[in-house]
């Protein structure tokens, strides 16, 4: 039987790159991109795209049956910063988006479901350095609470109904194609665009706030690797810790200065500072490395030079 993949949230920061990577592997017409927002030109031109609201259960189920979907990637979520502005709405959207896909996967018999969790599942009582896979989890943000609850539901659907639920706890993801929206780690993307455009960045976190991060290419290849792994290799059905590197805004600014010597940064922490301080500074991802060979290829140097080069190219094309 063919692998037919549905990506929900294909116009977002992860979705817009994941769809293209999946189309390369499985063929353009086997990867169905869906979102409530219009897609990138690349996605629209290379294969099927449809407007689909994951909160509409009947439409979702109909889609899975109609296109014989065997795998789902559900990336729809309100991120940490935005969720704090609309707590009840964010909880409702994040949880309904997940529960609809879990139920639709169960009813339609779709084989696999990928759903991203986040380092936001940890909280102020969690050990902050080299945070273990299994540890104290008392998140104090709406986003973090919804991600932790989601992990528990994913594992429940796997054990109780056999849904092949797979998940990673994404760190801050750094990419140049589609900008993120409303997260706490977004500074690590904004800083590059502002460095190229203005030579200055005003950061909403303090200079020494270290957080786990990963370049998008590594995040995508690891996500696909987890989905392709033999089920027998997976000792966890909640969510795997995953983070390649950790740095703070001051270290990132110093790295950018190696390419743009006149680059300056100032600091004006806002409400996201408290969120960042409740999260780990670094993550122990040895269980993911052991179970399904998770690996990273970008360190802070390679990430910085790639981001600056690609953003310059992108802005030149636009000009
Ligand atoms: C956010 O900052 O909200 C996200 C995340 C770490 O899950 N990037």
- The strands making up 49-51's β-sheet, listed across from edge to edge, are 49-51, 31-35, 5-8, 71-74, 112-114, 164-166
% of the chain exceeding 70 in pLDDT: 100
Are 284 and 147 in a shared domain?
no
Is residue 143 part of the annotated active site? The answer reads yes
Number of Cβ atoms within 10 Å of the Cβ of 199? 13
Which of 185, 205, 238 represents a domain boundary (last residue)? 238
Are 207 and 114 in a shared domain?
no
Are 159 and 193 in a shared domain?
no
Q: Is the CB of 13 under 6 A from ligand 1?
A: no
pLDDT digits (tens, 9 = 90+) for 231-250: 999 999 999 999 889 999 99
Are 277 and 313 in a shared domain?
yes
CB-based contact 203:191 (threshold 8 Å): yes
Q: Return the beta strands (E) in the chain as ranges.
A: 5-8, 31-35, 49-51, 71-74, 112-114, 117-118, 164-166, 168-170, 172-174, 200-203, 211-215, 240-241, 245-247, 264-267
Q: For ligand 1, what atom is nearest to the CA of residue 147?
A: 7
Q: Is the CB of 119 under 6 A from ligand 1?
A: yes
Would you state the pLDDT for residue 314?
A: 94
pLDDT digits (tens, 9 = 90+) for 104-158: 999 998 789 999 999 999 999 999 999 999 999 999 999 999 999 999 999 999 9
CATH code, 186: 3.40.50.720
CB-based contact 63:34 (threshold 8 Å): yes
Q: What's the predicted TM-score (pTM) here?
A: 0.96
pLDDT digits (tens, 9 = 90+) for 1-38: 789 999 999 999 999 999 999 999 999 999 999 999 99
Return the best residue to mutate from 75, 76, 80 for the ligand 1 pocket (most ligand atoms within 8 A of CB): 80
Q: Residue 167 contacts by C-beta under 8 Å, 6 or more apart in sequence?
A: 114, 115, 116, 117, 151, 154, 238, 239, 240
- For the chain, the domain total comes to 2
Q: Is the CB of 144 under 6 A from ligand 1?
A: no
pLDDT digits (tens, 9 = 90+) for 186-212: 999 999 999 999 999 999 999 999 999
> Domain range for residue 188?
173-213+243-318
**Separation CA 179–CA 143 (nearest Å):** 19
């Amino acid at each position: 039987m063919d692998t037919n993949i549905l990506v929900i949230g294909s116009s977002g920061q992860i979705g817009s790159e994941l769809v293209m990577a999946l189309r390369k592997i499985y063929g353009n017409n086997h990867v169905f991109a869906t979102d409530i927002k219009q897609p990138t030109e690349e996605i629209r031109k290379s294969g099927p795209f449809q407007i689909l609201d994951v909160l509409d259960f009947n439409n979702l189920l109909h889609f899975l049956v109609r296109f014989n979907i065997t795998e789902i990637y559900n990336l729809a979520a309100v991120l940490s910063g935005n969720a704090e502005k609309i707590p009840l709405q964010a909880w409702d959207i994040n949880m309904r988006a997940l529960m609809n896909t879990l139920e639709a996967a169960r009813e339609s018999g779709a084989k696999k479901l990928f759903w991203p969790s986040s380092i936001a599942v940890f909280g102020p009582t969690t050990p902050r350095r080299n945070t273990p896979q299994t540890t104290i989890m008392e998140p104090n943000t709406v986003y973090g609470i919804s991600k932790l609850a989601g992990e528990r539901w994913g594992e429940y659907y796997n054990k109780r109904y056999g849904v092949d639920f797979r998940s990673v706890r994404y760190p801050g993801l750094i990419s140049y194609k589609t900008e993120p929206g409303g997260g706490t780690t977004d500074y690590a993307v904004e800083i590059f665009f502002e460095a190229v455009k203005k030579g200055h960045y005003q950061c909403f976190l303090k200079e020494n706030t270290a957080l786990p991060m990963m370049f998008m290419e590594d995040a995508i290849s690891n996500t696909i690797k987890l989905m392709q792994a033999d089920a027998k290799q997976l000792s966890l059905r909640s969510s795997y810790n995953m983070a390649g590197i950790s740095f703070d805004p001051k270290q990132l600014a110093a790295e950018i200065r190696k390419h743009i010597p006149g680059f300056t940064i100032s600091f004006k922490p806002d409400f996201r500072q408290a969120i960042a301080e409740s999260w780990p500074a670094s993550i122990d991802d040895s269980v993911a490395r052991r179970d399904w060979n998770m690996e990273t290829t970008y360190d802070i140097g390679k990430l910085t030079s790639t981001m600056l080069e690609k953003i310059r190219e992108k802005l030149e094309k636009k000009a």
